[in-house]
């Protein structure tokens, strides 16, 4: 698929489909739109009337244009009120147009949307909308049903000069797509071994630093919490550390840590049926986002050093499994009573956070499909953010806002640590049911001494089912665009 900015005005554009964005408060066809309607012998005004199109956000319509016209279809997409226009509106509008164009078997598409902020931000948002809506994952299908032609060429009308911004947006999208593909791959295909191979391949392709710690290496570092989780798996654990270093002196040094459970059975405190156990391939979503961010950052080449870390394993059951009640010692020397083997993510993250802090970075952000409690609290559209650091919180919220990814700060209520107090060990890994997402964050906090740190729970946002009224169901790649914005900020 080719995406480019063009100088051609909408009146002169020729191709399969012309898509036009309309505001609720801009529904009278005046100026350019009136001329276009005239040129299309009234098709545009007829369409608007026929479907009672009001320009509401997410509304759209399309119709065939007379055969003598240089365009075959006209697509209209609603943008809501002009005063509310955001980049996210443009992303959604482009996504809608892309899906419609595909459905209508259009190979070439011209799109005319209003400017938001500046030409480059506008072009980037539109590009993201198209790329992420039109990406389809066919890796595991033996045959494809009802495949019409692909949209091959998209032209952004009125945004000439934004080709560099389009190229960068596409690099970011390649990271989002990698994250999605890793999450969507089943647990018999995406394993700690294949995750390590993916990391090696990324490092090879983009010339990044890579270090993969095997079980013995992790033992030497005293990573008892991570290894406790890995014990029952027949597959070797892999502790993955990828480094991006700019050619210039880095402006700052950051670490991104992702939970990497390629499958979470719950261990001996086994997940029951109805718990969503069959979806626990998504439990490496933090690592997926981390790798996706690697791919984007390696292409964007910012002047920031970034360490990407994931302790990858499965949480399984076997005669080697850790027992509910085992005491584990993490690499910072803290002891943990494992009162529930299903609270495994925080155990793997504990050692990953200790490792990250030892690198001497300026800030650490972890992403994890950590708790069902976060899904209950915030649903599938909003991720939870916990951080003792107001400055880092502000950076992440701004990064998420411009990415169009929803993030809500939750309280790190110290008092609730009471619930994690253990009789003989330093702490338990699980507290009482109330505030389960907060106690999980408080647990992680024990493994970061004084580096600014934030934890993002993506258990809800990692995957979205079609039933949630989502027109792009499946793995979301949530977090890649936020993290990229954060690193660049």
> Which residues are designated catalytic?
271, 346
Q: 3-state secondary structure string, 326-379?
A: CEEECCCCCEEECCCCCCCHHHHHHHHHHHHHHCCCCEEEEEECCCHHHHHHHC
Choose the stretch contacting ligand BES; rule: CB under 6 A; options: 41-49, 186-194, 247-255, 343-351. 343-351
Q: 65 or 352, CB closer to ligand BES?
A: 352
Task: Decide: is 326 part of the binding site for ligand BES (CB under 6 A).
Answer: no
Structure tokens at 367: 């992403």
Write out the binding residues for ligand BES, residues 416-435 only, by CB under 6 A.
430
Shortest distance, position 345 Cβ to Zn ion, whole Å: 4
Measure the CA–CA gap between 457 and 475, rounded to whole angstroms.
Answer: 15
Q: How far is the CB of 303 from Mn ion (least distance, A)?
A: 38
What is the rounded distance in angstroms from the CA atom of residue 159 to the CA atom of residue 146?
34
Strands 406-409 and 382-386: parallel
Q: Using an 8 Å Cβ cutoff, are 312 and 262 in contact?
A: yes
Stretch of residues binding ligand BES (CB under 6 A), selected from 24-32, 69-77, 107-115, 338-346: 338-346
- Compose the 433-462 pattern: x for residues touching ligand BES by CB under 6 A, - for all others: ---x----------------------x---
* CB-closest chain residue to ligand BES: 372
Report in angstroms how near the CB of residue 344 gets to Mn ion at its nearest.
Answer: 5
- Which one, 92 or 348, has the nearer CB to ligand BES? 348
Q: Which is nearer to ligand BES, 37 or 344 (CB)?
A: 344
Interface residue with ligand BES, options 63, 69, 340, 472 (CB under 6 A): 340
CA–CA dist 448, 412 (Å, integer)? 14
151: which residues sit within 8 A by CB, 6+ positions away?
1, 98, 101, 102, 106, 107, 108, 109, 130, 134
Residue ranges that bind Mn ion, judged by CB under 5 A: 264, 342, 344
Question: Beta-carbon neighbour count of residue 389 at 10 Å?
Answer: 14
With b for 16 or more beta-carbon neighbours within 10 A and e for fewer, the 51-89 pattern comes to eebebebebbbbbebeeebebbbbbbbbbbeeeebbbbb
Q: Which does 276 bind (CB under 5 to 8 A by kind): ligand BES, Zn ion, Mn ion, none?
A: ligand BES
Structure tokens at 269: 């405190």
CA distance 277 to 316: 12
Q: Given the complex with Mn ion, which of 182 and 338 has the nearer CB atom? A: 338
Closest CA to 316 of 352, 288, 274, 344: 344
Return the residue of 18, 125, 311, 375 that touches ligand BES, per CB under 6 A: 375
Q: Nearer to ligand BES by C-beta: 264 or 405?
A: 264
Q: Which stretch binds ligand BES (CB under 6 A): 59-67, 87-95, 366-374, 469-477?
A: 366-374
Q: How far is CA 93 from the centre of its chain?
A: 19
Segment 267 to 306, residues that bind ligand BES, using CB under 6 A: 276, 283
Number of residues near ligand BES (by CB under 6 A): 17
From the list ligand BES, Zn ion, Mn ion, none, partner contacted by residue 340 (C-beta under 5 to 8 A by kind): ligand BES
Residue with smaller CB distance to Zn ion, 128 or 264: 264
Q: Confirm if 151 and 98 have CB atoms less than 8 A apart.
A: yes
The enclosing H or E element of 174 equals helix 163-184
- Choose, by CB under 6 A, the member of 26, 222, 324, 372 that binds ligand BES: 372
Rounded CA gap, 77 and 96, in Å? 8
Minimum distance from residue 425 beta carbon to Zn ion (Å): 21
Instruction: Give the 3-state secondary structure of residue 303.
Output: coil
Rounded Cα–Cα distance for residues 475 and 477 (Å): 6
For residue 279, the minimal CB distance to ligand BES (Å) is 7
**Residues, the chain, total?**
489
Point out which residues pair with 427 in neighbouring strands.
Answer: 336
- Min dist CB 462 to ligand BES, Å, is 7
Q: Give whichever of 22 and 375 is closer to ligand BES, judged by the CB atom.
A: 375
Residue 128 interaction partner, one of ligand BES, Mn ion, Zn ion, none, beta carbon < 5-8 Å per kind: none
What's phi and psi for 183, nearest 5 deg? Answer: -70, -40
- Nearest residue (CB) to Zn ion, 8 versus 340: 340
Per CB under 5 A, residues contacting Zn ion are 261, 264, 283, 345
Residues of the shown chain interacting with ligand BES in the complex, contacts defined by CB under 6 A:
264, 276, 283, 340, 342-345, 369-373, 375, 430, 436, 459
């Amino acid at each position: 698929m080719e995406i480019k900015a063009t100088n051609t005005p909408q009146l002169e554009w020729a191709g399969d489909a012309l898509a036009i964005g309309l505001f609720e408060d801009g529904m009278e066809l005046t100026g350019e739109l009136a001329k276009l309607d005239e040129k299309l012998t009234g098709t545009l005004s007829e369409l608007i009337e026929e479907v009672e199109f009001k320009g509401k956000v997410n509304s759209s319509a399309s119709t065939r244009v007379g055969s003598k016209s240089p365009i075959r279809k006209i697509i209209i997409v609603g943008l809501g009120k002009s005063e509310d226009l955001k980049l996210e509106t443009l992303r959604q509008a482009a996504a809608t147009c892309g899906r419609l164009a595909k459905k209508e078997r259009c190979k070439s598409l011209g799109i005319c949307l209003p400017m938001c902020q500046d030409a480059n931000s506008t072009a980037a948002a539109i590009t993201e909308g198209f790329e992420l809506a039109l990406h389809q994952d066919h890796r595991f299908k033996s045959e494809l049903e009802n495949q019409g032609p692909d949209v091959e060429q998209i032209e952004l009308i009125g945004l000439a000069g934004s080709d560099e911004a389009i190229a960068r947006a596409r690099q970011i999208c390649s990271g989002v797509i990698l994250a999605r593909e890793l999450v969507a791959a089943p647990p018999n295909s995406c394993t700690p071994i294949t995750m390590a191979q993916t990391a090696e391949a990324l490092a090879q392709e983009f010339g990044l630093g890579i270090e993969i710690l095997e079980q013995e290496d992790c033992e030497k570092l005293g990573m008892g919490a991570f290894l406790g989780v890995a014990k029952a798996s027949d597959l070797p654990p892999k502790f993955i550390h990828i480094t991006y270093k700019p050619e210039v002196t880095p402006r700052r040094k950051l670490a991104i840590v992702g939970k990497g459970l390629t499958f979470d059975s719950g261990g001996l405190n086994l997940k029951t049926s109805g718990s969503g156990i069959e979806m626990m391939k998504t439990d490496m979503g933090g690592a997926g986002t981390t790798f996706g961010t690697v791919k984007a950052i390696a292409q964007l080449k910012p002047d920031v050093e970034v360490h990407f870390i994931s302790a990858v394993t499965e949480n399984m059951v076997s005669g080697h499994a850790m027992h509910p009640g085992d005491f584990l010692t993490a690499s910072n020397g803290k002891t943990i009573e494992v009162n529930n083997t299903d609270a495994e993510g925080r155990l793997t993250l504990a050692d990953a956070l200790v490792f990250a802090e030892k690198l001497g970075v300026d800030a650490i952000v972890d992403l994890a499909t950590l708790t069902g409690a976060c899904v209950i609290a915030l649903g599938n559209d909003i991720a939870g953010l916990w951080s003792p650091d107001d400055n880092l919180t502000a950076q992440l919220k701004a990064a998420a806002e411009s990415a169009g990814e929803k993030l809500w700060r939750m309280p790190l209520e110290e008092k609730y640590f009471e619930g994690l107090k253990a009789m003989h060990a330093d702490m338990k890994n699980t507290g009482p049911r109330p505030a389960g997402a907060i106690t999980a964050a408080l647990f992680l906090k024990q493994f970061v001494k004084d580096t600014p740190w934030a934890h993002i729970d993506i258990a809800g946002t990692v995957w979205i089912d079609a039933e949630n009224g989502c027109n792009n169901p499946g793995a979301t790649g949530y977090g890649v665009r936020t993290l990229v914005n954060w690193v660049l900020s």
